[in-house]
Chains A and B, each alone.
Chain A
Amino acid sequence: MSSLYERLGGEKAVNAAVELFYRKVLADGRIARFFDGVDIDQQIAKQKSFLTMAFGGPNNYTGADMRNAHKRLVAKGLNDSHVDAVIENLNYTLRDLGVPEKEVKEVAALANSVRDDVLNR
């Protein structure tokens, strides 16, 4: 059985998803404020690392990086409801791209696995 990353289509799938996903996130009134003033170019690269991880692709994920990257946002009130919103947008993105429900759930579970690191707890 091939890996989740292979079933999704690997790097091509990440490239197809990243801008769609980030557009949804920025358009989502629940979470958009956490991205105020950020540089979109740099964010796209960061979102690509996140999606690669969530798609089960090659990564060197460290909880410490994730914690450091979100510390400032936790101080601004980032909580579980915002992580839920991000995962919801990820689900919509994958459905828009025609990804089957089974894989959508697997990606959501991987994204969810970093929740505690993101929220620094």
Chain B
Amino acid sequence: MLKFEDRSVDLRPGETVLEALERAGINAPSSCRSGNCQTCLHRAVEGVPPPESQVGLTKGQKALGFFLPCVCLPPSPLTIARPDDVGARRDAVVREIEPLAPDVIRLRVDADDFAYRPGQFLELVADGDLRRHYSLASHPEDDPFLEMHIRLHKNGRMSRRLGEFKPGDRLHVAGPSGTCFYEGVREDQDLLLIGVGTGLAPLYGVLRDALKQGHRGPIRLYHGARSRDGLYLDDELKVLSRTRGHVDYRPCVLNPNAPAGGEVAATVLHAEQDVKDSAIFLCGGENLVKRLKRDFFMRGASMKNIRSDAFTPSS
């Protein structure tokens, strides 16, 4: 039994999921057709894909049901979706909206049955057609709400809309998406969390999840901001750093007199020379994420240990 979204797909004995999709006329890209290139990646939203169809994927992807249709002969029923399918929109209600910094707000919304891992992101929908992605800083076991940290842009449509929101207002959420969460990390591994601006939101979620899951290895959290008031969780993270011996919070503020000018990427690359066995999380603008990913990889970090979430501005 194979279903693609809502549609039943005929699966013949000995046929791979990719072959069945193609025979059904569903547009499914592929290239190597031997389980290597990951071009055909899909996600099982119901049912469990066989392990041989998940070889080479990250632990995070496996936990979310991602698999490779070109080498998947499912032994049991599967319902699958495209990898970027965020699923149905769900109702949400604004619970709280508070400033964290001059241009950053904390938005908390209530939504029923929204399962996620801290550090994943959701699609927030206002007025039916205004859609943006925001990372989740909340923890599903501790928080009854979904928490996002949102940078306000002067001329941004969503930013203007958010300025008008008040508790009780209705909107929609879809998702979650993304594999930037605490999965496949050894509890004694060095954990490096590196983010700029509201890239702190997913890292804060990951940090809380790591502590909850008993992470014992040293944790270093670097947060970069243009100025002091951009370090919007400074007080809380300083307290956490003092009370939890293995958590080290390292704020970086641009300052011509500071080492490396206070720039987070340069600071991190100077401080973190040996990353061969570290679990690394990178969240922020595309350039920062790409640069650090490449530099850490070249220093010997394995790509399976580097998780990232690059923010792209909406067009």
Q: Which residues of A contact B (CB under 8 A)?
A: 11, 15, 19, 23, 26-27, 37, 39-42, 44-46, 48-49, 52, 57-61, 65
Contact = CB atoms under 8 A, between A and B. Distances in A.
A37 B55 contact: no
Nearest to B299: A23
Interface of B: 31-34, 36-38, 55-56, 290, 293-294, 297-298, 300, 302-303
Contact of B303 (A40, A49, A57): A40
Nearest to A45: B38
Main secondary structure of the interface of B (DSSP, over half): loop
Contact of A26 (B33, B36, B290, B298): B298
A19 B302 contact: yes
8 contacts: A26-B294, A39-B290, A40-B303, A46-B37, A48-B36, A49-B31, A49-B36, A60-B34
Contact of B32 (A15, A26, A42, A59): A59
Nearest to A14: B36
Given A11-B55, A23-B297, A23-B298, A41 B33 contact: no
Given A40-B294, A52-B36, 4 more contacts: A19-B297, A19-B303, A44-B303, A48-B56
A45 B298 contact: no
Contacts of B303: 19, 40-41, 44
Contact of A40 (B36, B37, B55, B297): B297
Main secondary structure of the interface of A (DSSP, over half): helix
Nearest to A18: B303
Nearest to B33: A60
Contact of A49 (B32, B298, B302): B32
Interface centre among B37, B290, B293, by most chain A C-beta atoms within 10 angstroms, is B37
Nearest to A64: B31
Nearest to A19: B302
Closest 3 A/B residue pairs (Cβ): A49-B36, A60-B33, A49-B32
Contacts of A61: 32
A42 B37 CA distance: 8
A37 to B, nearest CB: 7
B34 A27 contact: no
Contacts of A40: 293-294, 297, 303
B36 A37 contact: no
A57 B298 CA distance: 27
A58 B298 CA distance: 29
A46 B38 CA distance: 8
A59 B71 CA distance: 11
A1 to B, nearest CB: 23
Contacts of A15: 56
